[in-house]
A = this chain, B = another copy of it.
Amino acid sequence: MRFFSDNAASVHPAVLEAVSAANAPDTAYDGDAISARLDTAFSDLFETQVSALWVATGTAANCLALAALCPPYRGTLCANDAHINQDEAGAPEFYSGGGKLITVDAPGSKLTPALVEARLGMIANDVHRTQAAAMSITNATEYGLSYTPAEVAALGELAKARKLRFHMDGARFANAAVHAGASPADLTWRAGVDALSFGFVKNGGLSSEALILFNRNLAEEVKVRRKRAGHLNSKGRFLAAQLLALLKDDLWLANARAANNGAARLAAAAGDRLLFPVQANELFLRMTVSEAADLRAQGFQFYDWAEGEVRFVVSWDQDSREIDALAKALSAL
């Protein structure tokens, strides 16, 4: 029973159908009729004019955005535990031409204005220190916490005051949005976000994420950078079709809701093992080595996060019986 990662989940049948349906010859790259619908589809969703680009991975979406938001000789503020800092093999430094990540120790990997201001206060304003030019938050965070619109807006105000461009890594934006019960607009551009990496692959997609540019002036540059990074697929229509299929009838929200609900059921069973409140589809639990071994012996797969800590992730397609079984097993520990 897989609670290892939502990356391992299956693809939603509607996505596969859309891929098959896209299989007529059309113009290459992003010149096709399906790709042409993305700007409108996402502009409708976000209630403002956006530029929307398909890219194959969240790492590519994040790093294309960061490279456009921060010059090589400046830095991007992020949580120390942020995926961009820990799990992308140095992709941000590669894409940005050596830009530095300026890391903030943040409980639950959640930035706050106070934490960011304190970190900025440590940077002497001279030519020797890397000055910050951008800020990136992850929503939901690496520990499964969801930002409220007000929390994002507070960071957005700081960004404006400090002249920082503002990026959101939304690998699990869907799960965050479901928990927040807020509109995509309120969680992003209305709160000052310039660019969003909008994750679909973990949430029923196949090979397509969306990079949403609220600051549309960035689009020309980002499109060149996408090509230059080898991310301009020649049959882009198959990536565009995936995104449209997940937007249709709010399938992306339904999938995320299913995952979040499963996580909530497990959270109830986990009780005071929880290291963080469960606000998306991930659980971080205190657990001894022998307890973990016990669970694994029962067939549950999960990730050893740190000493005495494990991570469970509920996928959009998780079988309800698996969730019941795990909830029972956690209660029984």
A residues in contact (CB < 8 Å) with B:
2, 4-5, 7-11, 16, 19-20, 23-29, 55-64, 71-75, 86-91, 93-100, 127-131, 201-202, 206-207, 221, 223-235, 238-239, 315, 317
Check if A231 sits within 8 Å of B60, measured CB to CB: yes
* Whole-angstrom distance between the Cβ of A98 and the nearest chain B Cβ: 4
Closest 7 CB pairs of A and B: A60-B230, A97-B97, A7-B28, A93-B98, A59-B230, A7-B234, A89-B228
Which chain B residues lie closer than 8 Å to A93 at the CB level? 93, 98-100
Contact of A228 among B11, B23, B73, B225 (CB under 8 A): B73
Instruction: Chain B residues near A55: list those with CB within 8 A.
Output: 230
Given contacts A23-B11, A57-B234, A235-B207, contact A90 B94 (CB under 8 A): no
Shortest CB–CB separation between residue A298 and chain B, in angstroms? 18
Contacts of A4 in B (CB 8 A): 27-28
Partner of A28, one of B8, B23, B26, B59: B8
Given contacts A97-B97, A207-B207, contact A90 B231 (CB under 8 A): no
CA distance A19 to B205 in the complex (A): 13
